[in-house]
Amino acid sequence: MTDTPLHLIRNFSIIAHIDHGKSTLADRLIQTTGTVAARDMKEQLLDNMEIERERGITIKAQTVRIDYPAKDGNTYVLNLMDTPGHVDFAYEVSRSLAACEGSLLVVDASQGVEAQTLANVYQAMDANHEIVPVLNKIDLPAAEPDRVKQQIEDVIGLDASDAVMISAKTGLNIEGVLEAIVTRLPPPTGDASKTLTALLVDSWYDAYLGVVVLVRVRDGHLKKGMKVRMMSNGATHTVEQVGVFRPKMVQVEALGPGEMGYITAAIKTVADTNVGDTVTDERNPATVALPGFKPSIPVVWCGLYPVDADDFEKLRESLGKLRLNDSSFHFEAEHSAALGMGYRCGFLGLLHLEIVQERLSREFDLDLIATAPSVVYKIRRTNGTLEELHNPADMPDPSLIEEIEEPWIKATIMVPDEYLGSILTLCSERRGQQVELTYVGSRAMAVYRLPLNEVVFDFYDRLKSVSRGYASFDYSIDGYEAGDLVKIGILVNAEPVDALSFMAHRSQADRRGRSICEKLKELIPRQLFKIPIQAAIGGRVIARETISAMSKDVTAKCYGGDISRKRKLLDKQKEGKKRMRQFGKVEIPQSAFIAALKMDA
Amino acid sequence: MAGMVEPLALYIHWPFCLSKCPYCDFNSHVRERIDQGRFAAALLAELRFEAERVGRRPLASIFFGGGTPSLMAPETAAALIAEAFALFDPLPGCEVTLEANPTSVEAAKLREFRAAGVNRLSLGVQSLDAAALAFLGRRHSAGEAVAALETGREIFPRLSFDLIYARPGQAEAAWRAEVRQALTLAADHLSLYQLTIEPGTKFATEHARGAFALPGDDEAAALYAATVEEAAGFGLAPYEVSNYAQPGAESRHNLAYWRYGDYLGIGPGAHQRLLLGGEMLAFRRHRAPEEWAGLVEAQGHGVTGCETLTPQDRAREALLMGLRLAEGVDPARVAVRAGMPMAAALDGEMVRACEEAGYLEWQGGRLCATAEGRMRLDAMLPRILR
């Protein structure tokens, strides 16, 4: 089952917006070809993680090898590459696409093309893919296949006249999809006689096997027992297992040119296996690596703190375990006066942040506080040095700063016409620069350049709310630019609360400062003393609220029979104070901080 | 103060009521029949037992509380007062207070209680508004309350009564009118309580269910301020959080609690604090009337637990009680009663912060909660106590 002739191999991926039916179609392809016995079928076969299943998103790339006896009498090996479907994992997506020669573009026949579909389809085009449009859910009454076909042609510029019409749910015309893969997508190319080069598509940690590495062989052979070298870091490993996914792991002797599969090589952590790297033969290494390798760089950072300080050690261990399987996320210890010991963690994007946070609470049973996410700023000091800033609390004194640069993104937003006005207002409020505005039927497509910082701060929620959920949004990182940026510090009772400080553009500073002061005023319960809450840039206060002192709190009746009870209550109250954060004579319940940070995230 | 013999305050608990009021979490019980003889005998027996324990001491006050002690046979009160006067040395003008409800039945017995030696009456009026009385589950009418007050003033040299305010939906103007009416009927003392929902009461269940809502803190604070203002207009000053009196007419018995003096408490569930041989003893008694009586019959007393309080606990108790009083606390007295210096029980920095905020002040060497401070005492105590 290895050394399949190149012309009988098809490597393909599926591009689809969330809910447009990618996973269902994958399930059907696997099922129809008998790759998985009927009794072993479950929904979304390829999505391993609980979170992936629940949210219908794929985080790790996966493949499944399908044997398909086609109408032409040949049996083809079809390798379906399931790619992460979110912009946070854009680089991972590009590597998965680089491992394939073609894509199925799955579009919901009633919903049409969404922003996310667009971004991914452009990526597939960049990877020189042949693309076969597939219209899904054509059995639904709301399906408008002709309109959607037209949209595909107008927006993407793809000929959709031969689009395959299916219903993945009911299994309608799955055969048509399989035939289109065989007849319309090109076979891979490669040379079995050359030395080994294989693209490292993805990797994950398995408790029994160590790191499992997903590869696509370009030239040569990948065999059990051979010594391989990772070209990005020179590390060598002895291959223990070679295999393919059906979708369970099945061992094979070797993988030849054009084939996809996995290797294991007693690798301890995924940090040693970089996505996009080239795997070659240690004894006869290739001189040129496959193109496109980039180390992963976090773009969004936030602090993660255990709600219960005693869980710090557990958090450290859990982050370590998570990193075994996700080298794209970074963490370093930090200390906050308000929240205690915790970690500053770097993520590929907001979804990545959310997923890691959720996994920590779900798989490791940790109760966490996350500080407001912050992007990575570049700070040029007056002495000429350049440094990256991951945490606003670490910002140097403004007098030492020559210039602050912030990351920008290019965002594509698709929205029904009636909500376009609010979307444009939102974008300009967030310092957006319009790049393009086009109409596709009744939907508008706005392309904006936006500072990433403005997107990190509740942009997505606002986008959804002003468009009643109809806007779809995607972005790619679009370089750094100097901006008039300031650090806004929050003072509670005249003491700075490091965990609440954040960066903002000077034009937004007053509004943001006021908004967080107002929120805190609502969230911090009234106390014995009045508490001033201030937002300040350096020493200049830009917003101020005061939580007035509680007006009355005294037991009405207290006589000889009440004294023991009152004393015991007092002891309890003193115990409860230990869960409070002290700000001079003011104590703030941790719950208020958590709520403030949650509202901001 | 050191070296002087601490006079005693004697509390006698009568645990029975005709019905349980929905706001009340006191140790009170409703019985179809009450064996008056048995409880009279048990109370007397326990009084003798405690007298044996503390020895002969000056007696400053007796307080019949409950429950509804006016449901007690007047001769029982008479016997208990006579026994207490025999076992201890009553101080001149020894205050003898009886709590009573203003139903006509009870009002009819008032003269007999006066004859038994009661010289101060405390009437549970609670409200002068018919709807409020119904809400509070009271068995008397506003008319009966006014009649009982008038009778009480004729019969007793001293008289006080209770009202409950900050009731659901109570407007400040209405409360001002009600308290003003009350003040015209008052003698020299009033207890004006903010309605509080106590756990385990009928109100607690109803309130949790959302059957009614109480005024918020700001409204309660405004009602309190209105109360103080109205009382002042009639010459009554708030000498304690909820108690108002003309100078010299303060409840001597209750002052003993707030000044953290020695007090005996007899009867079911009664509490007791005694400084004996340098140790502060806190006694608990069985709360169920019949079980308590059984214990007294078997062993002479109904005590089910006695705790020796640490100096820290004593200081906390002295301060949590003392700061309720306008007169505040005398550090020297707290030191004697607590067995440790008052300053060591306090967080000096927080005390200063409270002084700055206008919640605490020093007056002639005494630490006092200001009017503003007393209104926030429960929030202040856990902060200033170490």
pLDDT tens, residue by residue, A529-545: 999 999 999 889 999 99
Cα–Cα distance, A115 to A156 (Å, whole number) = 11
Q: Which of A528, A529, A587 is the mutation pick for testing B, counting most B CBs within 10 A?
A: A528
The mean pLDDT value for A65-86 works out to 88
State the pLDDT at residue B255.
98
Interchain CB contacts (distance < 8 Å): A and B: 108
Most confidently modeled range among A157-161, A507-511, A561-565, B240-244: B240-244
State the pLDDT at residue A30.
87
Give A3 or A134, the one with higher predicted confidence: A134
A552:B220 CB<8 A: yes
Cα–Cα distance, B253 to B168 (Å, whole number) = 32
For residue A551, which residues of chain B lie inside 8 Å, CB to CB? 217-218, 220-221, 375-376
Question: Is A585 in CB contact (< 8 Å) with chain B?
Answer: yes
Cα A181 versus chain centre, distance: 29
Q: Which residue of A has its CA nearest to B10?
A: A560
B273:A560 CB<8 A: yes
- A424 CB contacts (<8 Å, ≥6 apart)? A434, A446
Give A199 or A26, the one with higher predicted confidence: A199
B381:A563 CB<8 A: no
Percent of chain A with pLDDT over 70: 91
* A86 pLDDT above the threshold of 70: no
pLDDT digits (tens, 9 = 90+) for B83-134: 999 999 999 999 999 999 998 777 889 999 999 999 999 999 999 999 999 9
Whether a cis peptide bond, with omega within 30° of 0, leads into A247 is yes
On whether the CB atoms of residues A564 and B271 are closer than 8 A, the answer is yes
A570:B381 CB<8 A: yes
Burial of residue B294, with CB atoms counted within 10 A of its CB: 0-12 exposed, 13-18 middle, 19 or more buried: middle
State the pLDDT at residue A172.
94
State the pLDDT at residue A342.
93
State the pLDDT at residue B303.
96
The C-alpha of A524 sits at a distance from chain B's nearest C-alpha, in angstroms, of 15
The C-alpha of A528 sits at a distance from chain B's nearest C-alpha, in angstroms, of 6
Give A47 or B345, the one with higher predicted confidence: B345
When CB atoms are compared, the residue of A550, A560, A567 closest to B376 is A550
State the pLDDT at residue B1.
43
- What's the CA angle centered on A44, arms A39 and A49, to 5 degrees? 110
pLDDT confidence tier of residue A87, bands split at 50, 70 and 90: low
The C-alpha of A577 sits at a distance from chain B's nearest C-alpha, in angstroms, of 8
> How far is the first Cα of chain A from the last one, in angstroms, to the nearest whole number?
50
State the pLDDT at residue A590.
67
On whether the CB atoms of residues B201 and B22 are closer than 8 A, the answer is yes
Cα–Cα distance, B289 to B26 (Å, whole number) = 13
Q: Which residue has the tokens 């639904």?
A: A140
- What's the CA angle centered on B209, arms B203 and B210, to 5 degrees? 90
The mean pLDDT value for A399-416 works out to 91
Taking phi over 0 as left and psi of -120 to 50 as alpha, with beta for the rest, B244 belongs to beta
When CB atoms are compared, the residue of B196, B316, B376 closest to A528 is B376
Q: At what angle do helices B36-54 and B74-87 cross, to 10 degrees?
A: 10
For residue B376, which residues of chain A lie inside 8 Å, CB to CB? 528, 549-554
Q: Which of A552, A579, A588 is the mutation pick for testing B, counting most B CBs within 10 A?
A: A552
A561:B265 CB<8 A: yes
Chain A from 515 to 544: CB within 8 A of any B CB: 526-529
Q: Which residue of B has its CA nearest to A553?
A: B376
Scanning A113-252, the segments in alpha helix (DSSP H) are 115-126, 145-151, 174-184
Q: Which residue of B has its CA nearest to A587?
A: B383
State the pLDDT at residue A40.
63
The C-alpha of B256 sits at a distance from chain A's nearest C-alpha, in angstroms, of 9
Q: Which residue of B has its CA nearest to A573?
A: B382
Q: Which residues of chain B have pLDDT under 50?
A: 1-2
Give B252 or A96, the one with higher predicted confidence: B252
pLDDT digits (tens, 9 = 90+) for B164-207: 999 999 999 999 999 999 999 998 999 999 999 999 999 999 99
State the pLDDT at residue A137.
94
pLDDT confidence tier of residue A435, bands split at 50, 70 and 90: very high
Give A298 or A446, the one with higher predicted confidence: A446
For residue A216, give the H/E element and its range.
Answer: strand A210-219
pLDDT confidence tier of residue A524, bands split at 50, 70 and 90: confident
Cα–Cα distance, A287 to A280 (Å, whole number) = 9
How many CB atoms are located within 10 Å of the residue A277 CB?
Answer: 26
> How far is the first Cα of chain B from the last one, in angstroms, to the nearest whole number?
25
Percent of chain A with pLDDT over 90: 49
State the pLDDT at residue A354.
82
Q: DSSP for A502-541, please give it.
A: EEEEHHHHHHHHHHHHHHHHHHSPP-SS-EEEEEEETTEE
Q: Which of B25, B310, B376 is the mutation pick for testing A, counting most A CBs within 10 A?
A: B376
Cα–Cα distance, B187 to B185 (Å, whole number) = 7
Burial of residue B62, with CB atoms counted within 10 A of its CB: 0-12 exposed, 13-18 middle, 19 or more buried: buried
- 3-state SS assignment for residue A295: coil
Q: DSSP for B187-214, please give it.
A: -SEEEEEE----TTSHHHHHHHHTS---
Give B168 or A294, the one with higher predicted confidence: B168
Q: Which residue of A has its CA nearest to B255?
A: A559
The mean pLDDT value for A591-600 works out to 66
- 3-state SS assignment for residue B182: helix
State the pLDDT at residue A583.
67
When CB atoms are compared, the residue of A550, A557, A585 closest to B379 is A550
- A78 CB contacts (<8 Å, ≥6 apart)? A10, A12, A29, A33, A65, A66, A67, A68, A178, A181, A182
Cα–Cα distance, B187 to B183 (Å, whole number) = 8
How many CB atoms are located within 10 Å of the residue A393 CB?
Answer: 23
Phi and psi at A594, nearest 5°, equal -60, -45
Cα–Cα distance, A304 to A357 (Å, whole number) = 8
- 3-state SS assignment for residue A458: coil
pLDDT confidence tier of residue A1, bands split at 50, 70 and 90: very low
Q: Which residue of B has its CA nearest to A549?
A: B376
A566:B320 CB<8 A: yes
Phi and psi at A318, nearest 5°, equal -65, -40
For residue A559, which residues of chain B lie inside 8 Å, CB to CB? 254, 257
Cα–Cα distance, A46 to A53 (Å, whole number) = 9
Question: Is A558 in CB contact (< 8 Å) with chain B?
Answer: yes
The C-alpha of A585 sits at a distance from chain B's nearest C-alpha, in angstroms, of 7
Question: Is A557 in CB contact (< 8 Å) with chain B?
Answer: yes
Sheet holding B279-285, edge to edge: B237-240, B243-245, B189-194, B158-165, B120-126, B89-100, B58-66, B8-14, B262-266, B272-276, B279-285, B303-309
Q: Which residue of B has its CA nearest to A569?
A: B382
B217:A577 CB<8 A: no
The C-alpha of B36 sits at a distance from chain A's nearest C-alpha, in angstroms, of 24
The mean pLDDT value for A391-416 works out to 90
For residue A585, which residues of chain B lie inside 8 Å, CB to CB? 349-350, 353, 383
* A61 pLDDT above the threshold of 80: no
For residue A528, which residues of chain B lie inside 8 Å, CB to CB? 354, 357, 359, 376, 379-380, 383
When CB atoms are compared, the residue of B27, B242, B271 closest to A557 is B242
- A213 CB contacts (<8 Å, ≥6 apart)? A200, A202, A203, A262, A263, A264, A265, A267, A273, A279
- 3-state SS assignment for residue B22: coil
On whether the CB atoms of residues A41 and A27 are closer than 8 A, the answer is yes
pLDDT confidence tier of residue A600, bands split at 50, 70 and 90: very low
CA dihedral sign of residues A413, A417, A423, A425: positive
On whether the CB atoms of residues A504 and A516 are closer than 8 A, the answer is no
* A49 pLDDT above the threshold of 50: no
Q: Which of A368, A375, A376, A310 is nearest to A343 (CA)?
A: A368
B385:A570 CB<8 A: yes
A556:B241 CB<8 A: yes
Question: Is A552 in CB contact (< 8 Å) with chain B?
Answer: yes
Cα–Cα distance, B204 to B214 (Å, whole number) = 12
Residues in chain A: 601
On whether the CB atoms of residues A426 and A455 are closer than 8 A, the answer is no
Question: Is A551 in CB contact (< 8 Å) with chain B?
Answer: yes
